[in-house]
Amino acid sequence: MVVVAGLLALSCSGSQPSTVAVPLVTPAGPTLRDRYGDLPFLTPIDAPATVALSGGPGLGGPGLSAAAGACASCHTENHAEWAAATHASAVRDLQFIAELAKPGQPRWLCLNCHLPTLPQRAQAFTLDSRLIGGVSQVESTPNPEFDPARVAEGIGCATCHVRRDADGEGIVIGPRGTGRAPHRVRADPEALAGICVNCHSPTAADGSPIAISPELVCWFETAQEIPDAAGSGSADVASCVACHMPVVARPAADGAPDVELRRHVWMGGGIPKYYDGYLTLRSRGWESGLDVRVRDGQVTLTNVRAGHSLPTADPERFLRVEARLEVNGAVVSRDVLRIGQIWDWGDAVSGRAAHRLADTRLRGGETRVWTPALSGAGDLVVEVAHVRLTPEHAASMKAAVLDAELIALWPEAQTLLPAIDEHYPLATWIFRERHERATGSVRTWTQSELLEESRRFGALPLGAKRLSLEVE
Ligand code: HEC
Ligand code: HEC
Ligand code: HEC
Ligand code: HEC
Ligand code: HEC
């Protein structure tokens, strides 16, 4: 994150140094509405703390808590799936906390997507609140509805399912409007399926991706990466749900009859937020989006399963493809290909705006053939890793200083962050194959073997991690 001459690059990570200029606190600026209109991620979501009971006045009472833990008492399976997915770690994410610790961060804004509903937020503000000192802070007041117990849930059930009814009471938004629920329900399948893009593909008022003002660049464009029928980009928003929430037949609530519903797994690039997350990736349905073939010294890479670019989202993610020749286990020649984006995050002194320099990602369905430059003879080993965070960048996060506000968000981060590389998976290996020169035999590692190795990678010292992930 970098704050430069009133210009803010919101990349959700980026490899900028943590010593960026702290904007001076200037008198309050324009309101959020004046500046940006009413984009959905500019304020926390007004999802009330309770959901009204169904069945009319007789059942009235105080309502059900909208906390994810409360929904769990009747929706056991949805809750278990959600709890293991990254949405539930959107705050308890070491990289996120380290990024928030950088001076001048617009924490209010980061939290709108990572801790999205109002009862989860210590401070309340609206679109009429004014910006203070650029975008680093927004005018806010203590939130009387704040429930500290709900901070840990991050993107909880209420983010997508709880809204205010016409009378101000909490109501559950569902896909079918069942009459069997003990809580109020309203069917709005479009709103549910369309919610993903609010956070994953924020767009400007004119529909263009990303830059919502010269001052604020938010670079997630997953929806725009999905070609429409005309091939011009921009998505059928419901498509996110189709791939990331697969259909299964089971009860929608404990003890209810079976229906066709969607699993709450949201599998992505296969890099969990903690090493033991690898143990359940397969059972949660994870499969890489990439297909790799090695033949005649050429590596063919195809994005077969992701409708969007691979990798998508955070601009720092990349695929690292390595080809090497080995003789008796010793590397005699090596070549590395990096597939991803390269950004210039701007410059504080000259006021240069953040901009993308290169994008070599694989579009949906795209095939790329790579001929590694190798010299000599030996057994050919090809491997591919999906890298979320470089060891260098992870190492720089160890020095992050957490203030009281951040410690309140996640107390354990104080002890976990100084050893981030032991706790936070940096990369997942998705392919490895060995072609023996002498015998012509081929050994292909299974995905389970590679996940187990990716898990063990956490125990390696930082130096060894660097060697395995360097791209130069
Ligand atoms: C418009 C919504 C939105 C805002 C605002 C936002 N994020 Fe994110 N953030 C996301 C989404 C969506 C993802 C998931 C994409 C991914 O995993 O690459 C994400 C992922 C992340 C990650 C994990 C990256 C990874 O590779 O796993 C970090 C760290 C992060 N954000 C930090 C921040 C910080 C710091 C801010 C404020 C400067 C911020 N985010 C603001 C939506 C947002
Ligand atoms: C990121 C958004 C999101 C979150 C978070 C989320 N859901 Fe959902 N949920 C959806 C969507 C989208 C659907 C509808 C899918 C479809 O079109 O059938 C859905 C459907 C459901 C259904 C209806 C099943 C059916 O078809 O009758 C239940 C029950 C449910 N969710 C419970 C939960 C619970 C409990 C939590 C928290 C543990 C939760 N959801 C968290 C997005 C979300
Ligand atoms: C006391 C039990 C109970 C609690 C607590 C509960 N639910 Fe439900 N919920 C049900 C039952 C029962 C159904 C009906 C299932 C069916 O139609 O077969 C249901 C249905 C739903 C549906 C489907 C709506 C549709 O369109 O058909 C959603 C979504 C949902 N609940 C979300 C939630 C969320 C989110 C929470 C927490 C805020 C929650 N529920 C808390 C029992 C509960
Ligand atoms: C309120 C904002 C928000 C909404 C709404 C939202 N997401 Fe996310 N999503 C995030 C953030 C933030 C992360 C990253 C969390 C992290 O890395 O710590 C994320 C992560 C993911 C991931 C990556 C998982 C991984 O392990 O790499 C997938 C896939 C995903 N979301 C799909 C969806 C889909 C599909 C929907 C709509 C049903 C949706 N999201 C709705 C904010 C959101
Ligand atoms: C055709 C199926 C498909 C569609 C449509 C699709 N995805 Fe994905 N998505 C995937 C697959 C497969 C992956 C895993 C890619 C990989 O191997 O890294 C993925 C990965 C992701 C990730 C993880 C990024 C990372 O590098 O870990 C996010 C976030 C995500 N998708 C969000 C979305 C959103 C938001 C939408 C809708 C705009 C969407 N996806 C539509 C299949 C799809």
Q: Which ligand ends up closest to the CA of 236? A: 5
- Cα 243 to ligand 3 centre (Å): 23
- Cα 142 to ligand 1 centre (Å): 25
Residue 6 pLDDT = 31
* Ligand 2 site, residue 71, Cβ cutoff 6 A: yes
Distance CA 31, CA 126 (A): 9
CB 247 within 8 A of CB 260: yes
- Cα 46 to ligand 1 centre (Å): 21
Count of CB atoms situated within 10 Å of the CB of 369: 11
* Ligand 3 site, residue 172, Cβ cutoff 6 A: yes
CB 61 within 8 A of CB 53: yes
The owner of tokens 């001052």 is 215
First to last CA, the chain: 24
Residue 299 structure tokens: 């590596």
Distance CA 364, CA 309 (A): 6
Residue 457 structure tokens: 């990678």
Distance CA 141, CA 452 (A): 47
- Cα 253 to ligand 3 centre (Å): 6
Distance CA 253, CA 172 (A): 14
* Ligand 5 site, residue 198, Cβ cutoff 6 A: no
* Ligand 5 site, residue 196, Cβ cutoff 6 A: yes
Q: Which residues of the chain have pLDDT under 50?
A: 1-23, 57-58, 209-210, 212, 229-235
Q: Which ligand ends up closest to the CA of 178? A: 3
Q: Which ligand ends up closest to the CA of 260? A: 2
Q: What angle do CA 204, 207, 213 make, to 5 degrees?
A: 20
**Closest atom, ligand 4, to C-alpha of 243:** 35
- Cα 305 to ligand 5 centre (Å): 8
CB 226 within 8 A of CB 364: yes
Handedness of CA 24, 25, 31, 37 (dihedral sign): positive
- Cα 304 to ligand 5 centre (Å): 11
Q: Which ligand ends up closest to the CA of 266? A: 4
CB 346 within 8 A of CB 388: no
CB 383 within 8 A of CB 39: no
Give CA separation, 181 vs 93, 171, 186, 380, in Å.
34, 11, 11, 59
Residue 396 structure tokens: 């720089």
CB 389 within 8 A of CB 457: no
**Closest atom, ligand 4, to C-alpha of 45:** 1
Residue 219 structure tokens: 């670079």
